[in-house]
């Protein structure tokens, strides 16, 4: 079940009615949210419910034991239980097949043929997200930044809350868990704001991301384009992944608001960034701050000298690549960002306070967007060989005529909508979404327009699954 499916739009009103009927009884509301979340997650494969339930129980018990154990030695041991279980589960389901393939390839390189039992593991949807969410809870309790939760239902609801369960934002226990342990106020304002975010997110996904996917899929296909048309295909993928992922986040945040729950913003208009430091403060914010707080700083951050700091930065980028998938193409994607980010880091450019955007920043923003698009080639390609082929295509046939299928794919309506989308993004980036809504998004006509456009585009093109479901 996903956000743009018929099943979800039957499921959501039922859950909302049950939740609102139980107004004033927040513990029973948690039961409704927990059952609904497990139903939502089990829709893909009910067997995976054992994994999320196991992670929930282990970290709940670890939190309780951390509060009861005065010995630092035993507290570290209990934290180790949480780390071993969650990282072990993530490692098995996400990386076992990759490691076996690398083992076989390494021996083949020295002329030894290996024939191990093939490891075929199905990747549970959202496992990278909820394991990080439960880990942050155990680590924060260990660091004594919060008291452990002793309400298993509230804790399980925090872990499995369905709007952000399978693709984030990755919430911290210090922010989301308190909202599961007390009454939540659902007002007309929160419902209106939630519905607006949902409509905006659906528009991003169906109209922008799925339409851009048409170009990206052909460009990265076996009979892909060359020269400037291949560049268009790469930019189309950049548009697709932003519209897809930020659209999902907007729908998740908006859906949570219908229940009186606030989730953190996950995207802050990253393609207007003037350098990579700014880009990573604006792209997938919940994951990047997680790596900062639970990997970069524990490794020593910038406290142990410049050389160690550069090493820590490189580790974070490479681990971020691996987090996205067990493939060398993701490691390369992380390495490209690391190589381009380190000079900025060494000169202190990544720590400059953000100032008001000015038109003189356009060249820097275009350069940053170009670097990001170059890295997206490795992210989108099937493998490193395919990425190299895509780069070769970009380098050749710049004087060639438009491919025969390019005109057929062209859509004047989509280009008009895309330009309008960029303008709206710019206005929100420059003046803020509240300014935009106060100025002219004051009635239901904008939401109705977004829904109509989503229906129109959704009926005329194939639906694409959310990209980050694969991670």
* Catalytic positions: 324
279 neighbors 368 (Cβ within 8 angstroms): yes
Q: Choose among 146, 203, 205: nearest CA to 177.
A: 146
Question: Per residue, what are the HEC states of the chain?
Answer: CCCCCHHHHHHHHHHHHHHHHCCCCHHHHHHHHHHHHHHHHHCCCHHHHHHHHHHHHHHHHHHHHHHHCCCHHHHHHHHHHHHHHHHHHHHHHHHHHHHHHHHHHHHHHCCCCCCCCCCCCCCCCCHHHHHHHHHHHHHHHHCCCCCCCCCHHHHHHHHHCHHHCCCCCCCCHHHHHHHHCCCCCCCHHHHHHHHHHHHHHHHHHHHHHHHHHHHHHHHCCCCCCCHHHHHHHHHHHHHHHHHHHHHHHHHHHHHHHHCCCCCCCCCCCHHHCCCHHHHHHHCCHHHHHHHHHHHHCCCCCCCCCHHHHHHHHHHHHHHHHHHHCCCHHHHHHHHHHHHHHHHHHHCCHHHCCCCCCCHHHHHHHHHHHHHHHHHHHHHHCCCHHHHHHHHHHHHCCCCCCCCHHHHHHCCHHHHHHHHHHHHHHHHHHHHCHHHHHHHCCCCCHHHHHHHHHHHHHHHHCCCCCCHHHHC
Of 232, 249, 250, 174, nearest to 402 (Cα)? 232
């Amino acid at each position: 079940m996903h956000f743009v499916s018929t099943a979800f739009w039957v499921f959501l009103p039922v859950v909302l009615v049950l939740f609102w009927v139980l107004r004033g009884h927040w513990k029973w509301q948690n039961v409704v949210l927990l059952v609904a979340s497990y139903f939502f997650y089990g829709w893909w494969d009910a067997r995976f419910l054992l994994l999320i339930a196991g992670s929930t129980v282990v970290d709940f018990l670890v939190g309780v034991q951390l509060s009861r154990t005065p010995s630092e030695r035993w507290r570290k041991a209990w934290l180790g239980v949480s780390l071993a279980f969650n990282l072990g589960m993530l490692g098995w389901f996400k990386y076992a097949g990759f490691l076996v393939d690398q083992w076989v390839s390494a021996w083949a390189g020295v002329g030894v043929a290996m024939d191990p039992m093939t490891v075929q593991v199905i990747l549970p949807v959202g496992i990278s997200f909820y394991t990080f969410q439960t880990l942050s809870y155990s680590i924060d309790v260990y660091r004594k930044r919060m008291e452990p939760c002793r309400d298993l239902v509230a804790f399980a609801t925090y872990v499995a809350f369905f709007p952000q369960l399978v693709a984030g934002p990755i919430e911290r226990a210090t922010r989301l868990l308190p909202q599961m342990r007390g009454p939540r106020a659902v007002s007309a304002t929160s419902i209106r704001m939630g519905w607006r975010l949902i409509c905006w997110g659906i528009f991003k996904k169906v109209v922008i991301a799925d339409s851009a996917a048409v170009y990206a899929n052909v460009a990265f296909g076996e009979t892909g384009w060359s020269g400037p048309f291949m560049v268009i295909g790469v930019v189309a993928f950049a548009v697709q992944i932003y519209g897809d992922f930020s659209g999902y986040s907007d729908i998740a945040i908006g859906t949570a608001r219908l229940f009186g729950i606030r989730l953190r913003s996950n995207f802050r208009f990253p393609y207007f960034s003037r350098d990579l430091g700014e880009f990573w403060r604006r792209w997938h914010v919940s994951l990047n701050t997680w790596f900062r707080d639970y990997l970069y700083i524990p490794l020593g951050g910038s406290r142990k000298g410049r050389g160690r700091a550069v090493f820590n930065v490189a580790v974070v980028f490479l681990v971020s690549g691996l987090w996205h998938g067990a493939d060398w193409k993701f490691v390369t994607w992380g390495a490209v960002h690391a190589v381009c980010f380190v000079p900025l880091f060494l000169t202190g450019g990544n720590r400059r306070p953000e100032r008001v955007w000015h038109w003189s920043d356009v060249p820097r923003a275009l350069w940053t967007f170009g670097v990001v698009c170059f890295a997206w080639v490795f992210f989108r390609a099937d493998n490193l060989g395919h990425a190299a082929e895509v780069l070769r295509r970009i380098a050749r046939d710049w004087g060639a005529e438009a491919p025969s299928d390019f005109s057929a794919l062209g859509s004047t309506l989509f280009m008009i909508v895309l330009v309008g989308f960029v303008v709206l993004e710019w206005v929100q980036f420059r003046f803020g979404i509240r300014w935009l809504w106060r100025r002219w998004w004051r009635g239901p006509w904008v939401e109705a327009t977004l829904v109509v456009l989503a229906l129109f585009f959704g009926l005329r093109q194939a639906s694409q699954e959310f990209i980050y479901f694969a991670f």
